[in-house]
Amino acid sequence: MDKVNRRAFLGTAVAAGVASSLMDVPVKASKGLSGPKRSRKDDISLAQWALVQEMRDGKWKNSDFPRIAREGFDINGIEFVSTLFELPTLSHLNRLHREAEKYKVAMVLIMVDDEGETCDPNKQTRIQTAINHRKWVDIAKYLGCHSIRTNCRGPKNAPKDQALDWAADCYNRLLEYAAPAGIGILIENHGGLSNDPDWMVSLYKKVNNPYFGSYPDWRGPSKEFDNVNYIRKMLPYAGGMSYRNQPAEEQTARLIKLCQDAGYKGWYGIESSGRDEIKKGKKLLDKYLLGKG
């Protein structure tokens, strides 16, 4: 099958976005769409960020990721990080396809960083942020990923009601591009307003798009962050799980059961840092999620 389709693959996405940014048109949620086609069974994936130090040390490259996931950990899916991605030429993306097929690894999503703030008071900034993410939508589509992951922090001490409007505007603009391509847009709690589960629920309800959802970072519990309550409130909108090992095995088991009881099925992307922690996470997920002992 010819992988090149009618969508502008990379550079034209930005060009088209620049043209649309010159017009002030109302943005509406996509209609008649059912959401991204993601796995409806529980499985384990590996977040590239879990091995970020190895990549920074030059031990392996982006195109090695399918092999690392399979040979190093026997994991079925991989989740890329935009800032660790090599130049996304067509030849590189085709090589990723070949490697993923060779090692029987699914390419799940792309974590996108450093492409602008989605919750910004300046309209032109929001427009540009939406445009900047479009190339990653195109890459995700080409690779067969179901979603891209974004950040939504907002300015410090921003009025929550106004910030809600800012974020909704930016995400509606991005979804107008992503939803017709079948690519989901997820938010991971990486500080600021995204750490507030009630604000996040309000945002999901305001945007009200089946391609818009949560990618909850499990993070360890702390005085500043109730990870159990956060995950509970995000589960109705979850398009993936950013799994991290908890301080005790019992806590890990509790969170997995929380997800299962809520009816979530899909990928659990291990983001615990380093090979030992990844192997520990794989063992715990095999035990409590997949029932392999």
**240-271 pLDDT, tens per residue?**
999 999 999 999 999 999 999 999 999 999 99
Of all helices (H) and strands (E), which one includes residue 268? strand 267-270
Give the pLDDT score at 133.
98
User: Once rounded to an integer, what is the mean pLDDT over residues 66-82?
Assistant: 98
Q: What's 46's DSSP letter?
A: E
State percent of the chain over pLDDT 90: 83
Give the pLDDT score at 72.
97
Cα 35 to chain centroid, rounded:
14
Q: Which residues pair with 127 in a beta bridge?
A: none
Residue with tokens 């040390």: 57
pTM higher than 0.85: yes
Class (C level, CATH) for 34-288: alpha beta
Give the pLDDT score at 257.
97
pLDDT-based confidence at residue 37 (cuts at 50, 70, 90): confident
Dihedral of alpha carbons 109, 111, 115, 120, sign = positive
- pLDDT tens figures, 115-156: 999 999 999 999 999 999 999 999 999 999 999 999 999 999
Gap between the Cα atoms of 37 and 68, Å rounded? 25
Put residue 31 in one of left, alpha, beta given phi > 0 → left and psi -120 to 50 → alpha. Answer: beta
How many helices and strands, by DSSP H and E, does the chain display? 11, 8
Gap between the Cα atoms of 217 and 271, Å rounded? 9
Instruction: Copy the structure tokens of residue 13.
Output: 């996405």
